[in-house]
Amino acid sequence: MITSNEAFHLEHLPRRAMVVGGGYIAVEFAGILNGLGVETGLLYRGPLFLRHFDRDLRDTLAEEMPKKGVKLRFDTRVDAVEKRPDGSLALQLGDGTRLETDLVLYATGRRPLTRDLGLEACGVGLREDGSIIVDEYYQSAVPSIHAIGDVIGGPELTPLATAQGMALASTLFLGEKRSVSLENLPTAIFSQPAVAPWA
Ligand SMILES: Cc1cc2nc3c(=O)[nH]c(=O)nc-3n(C[C@H](O)[C@H](O)[C@H](O)COP(=O)(O)OP(=O)(O)OC[C@H]3O[C@@H](n4cnc5c(N)ncnc54)[C@H](O)[C@@H]3O)c2cc1C
């Protein structure tokens, strides 16, 4: 199985692919693969994908994606993936169904890899999921250690990480304390059709 990292380095386009996950990355990659002519399915364990987004957009997308060819399956758990002698993959689903495919892409979320850095030994606080606890000016419990971006938890978005970097630079080097508000964050999902909800 692969993640979105490996998806950009595939040597061959598979004939069939199954994307597992219900976030925007799962939705986007299902659209990309389908657009490239791959027979694509998306499996999600919850009742409807894009959990934190507006309900009307989620419903509309769930109607529109199958029209483009993506087969959606919600309330579906993957129990096992088995490689067959011919190289194809068999997915064993929670309800007993078996699906055949040639590529499985997991897009079920990422966790900060902070556990083996010795941060806790320094006194930097970590949450259960490994994200670094900082105050509103991105300072950790150790005054000389700051953190910004995905690693502090919260919405994982490039412009947010960039803005936090600029705010921190302003605080540290210009003497103007700045913080980035998480209210009204615009975002887009590059699905087909594309949608633009508020995060
Ligand atoms: C497939 C995909 C699609 C996405 N699409 C969008 C999008 O359309 N729009 C959007 O806004 N956001 C998108 N994101 C999210 C976006 O990529 C992140 O929010 C953003 O990159 C966060 O920036 P960052 O600097 O916090 O972390 P990162 O960009 O992840 O940078 C962290 C860096 O630290 C390095 N690193 C890790 N551990 C160590 C270590 N121990 N020592 C040294 N270096 C280390 C990593 O290699 C990496 O280069 C997407 C993410 C993915 C995975």
Kindly list the averaged pLDDT for each block of 10 residues, start to end, along the chain of length 199. 96 97 97 97 98 92 97 97 96 97 97 94 96 98 98 94 98 97 90 80
Ligand 1 atom 53, closest CA: 4
Q: What is the pLDDT of residue 88?
A: 97
Ligand 1 atom 34, closest CA: 151
**Selection from 137, 115, 22 nearest residue 76 by Cα:** 22
Q: What is the pLDDT of residue 198?
A: 62
Ligand 1 center–CA 120 separation, angstroms: 22
CA 70 to chain centre: 19
Q: What is the pTM of this model?
A: 0.91
The ligand 1 atom nearest the CA atom of 148? 26
Q: What is the pLDDT of residue 196?
A: 83
| Measured distance CA(132)–CA(104) in Å, rounded | 31
Ligand 1 center–CA 136 separation, angstroms: 21
Ligand 1 center–CA 151 separation, angstroms: 9
| Measured distance CA(140)–CA(131) in Å, rounded | 11
| b/e burial code for range 50-77 (CB count within 10 A of at least 16 → b) | beebeeebbeebbeebeeebbebbeebe
Q: Which domains does the chain have, with CATH numbers?
A: 4-106 (3.50.50.60), 116-183 (3.50.50.60)
Q: What is the pLDDT of residue 199?
A: 53
Instruction: Give yes or no for residue 155 CB within 6 A of ligand 1.
Output: no
Instruction: Give yes or no for residue 156 CB within 6 A of ligand 1.
Output: yes
Give the mutation target among 115, 157, 164, 191 for probing the ligand 1 site: most ligand atoms within 8 A of CB.
157
Instruction: Report helix angle 55-68 to 24-35, nearest 10.
Output: 20
Instruction: Give yes or no for residue 159 CB within 6 A of ligand 1.
Output: yes
